[in-house]
Amino acid sequence: MTSPIRRIMIVDDHGAVRRGVRQLVESKPYYQVVGEAADGRAALAIAQETNPDITILDYSLPELNGLDLAHLLKRTFPRMEILLYTMHDREEIIMDVLRAGVRGFVLKSDTEPHLIAALDALSIHRPYFSNAISETLLEKFLETKPQPCASSLTHREREVVQQIAEGRINKEIAEILGISVKTVETHRASAMHKLKLRTTADLVRYAIRNNIVQA
């Protein structure tokens, strides 16, 4: 079965870069370059005329930068995939463009096969990040402070939280679990401290959101 032709737009303010990318892209029979632009506003106009499947764009562009252009393209063409092809690898840039809807990120310092691999992935609506970008994203994930979650509670604390969320008072919980009222109070206080909650209502909402009890 023949692969469908994917329509590509190239956006970069350097003519030599556009020519090099075009030559590489058009070496594959299933890709067709339908437009080129040297600035963001021209790219937006060309996209309106050609409706590309994938846009390859740089971050630093005159008139309308790559981040703002990505926002506008995704708003106007939700099915369009965007591949950022740039020399910028700062964490804040990566996170900003991902939030804008960019699902492919390749550095200009990467080898040419990365660019084709990214297009191949995006053409079937799968994300692609070159190795350096993947490492940055992994480091960002690992550095993110984990939010309090149900798994941070002990088994007994979860039991107490569930009983509280089901509307039982400390004395009833103590009888059901076979522990003292004081122990119930200790587990309750420990759970609320771990979860950074202040009131019983907060605890009930937490239990519902984390499927400890049903709403």
**Triad 203, 207, 212: Cα angle to 5°:** 150
Return d(Cα 169, Cα 63) in angstroms, integer: 64
SS (H, E, C) 77-115: CCCCEEEEEECCCCHHHHHHHHHCCCCEEEECCCCHHHH
pLDDT under 50: residue ranges of the chain: 1
Return the pLDDT at 147: 52
Q: What is the pLDDT of residue 69?
A: 93
Structure tokens at 205: 């909402």
Q: What's residue 145's pLDDT?
A: 54
Q: Could you tell me what percent of the chain has a pLDDT over 90?
A: 57
- Predicted TM-score of the model (pTM): 0.66
Q: What domains can be seen in the chain, in order of their start residue?
A: 6-143 (3.40.50.2300), 150-209 (1.10.10.10)
- Give the residue from 87, 187, 193 showing the smallest Cα distance to 148: 193
Q: Residue 37 forms beta bridges with which residues?
A: 11
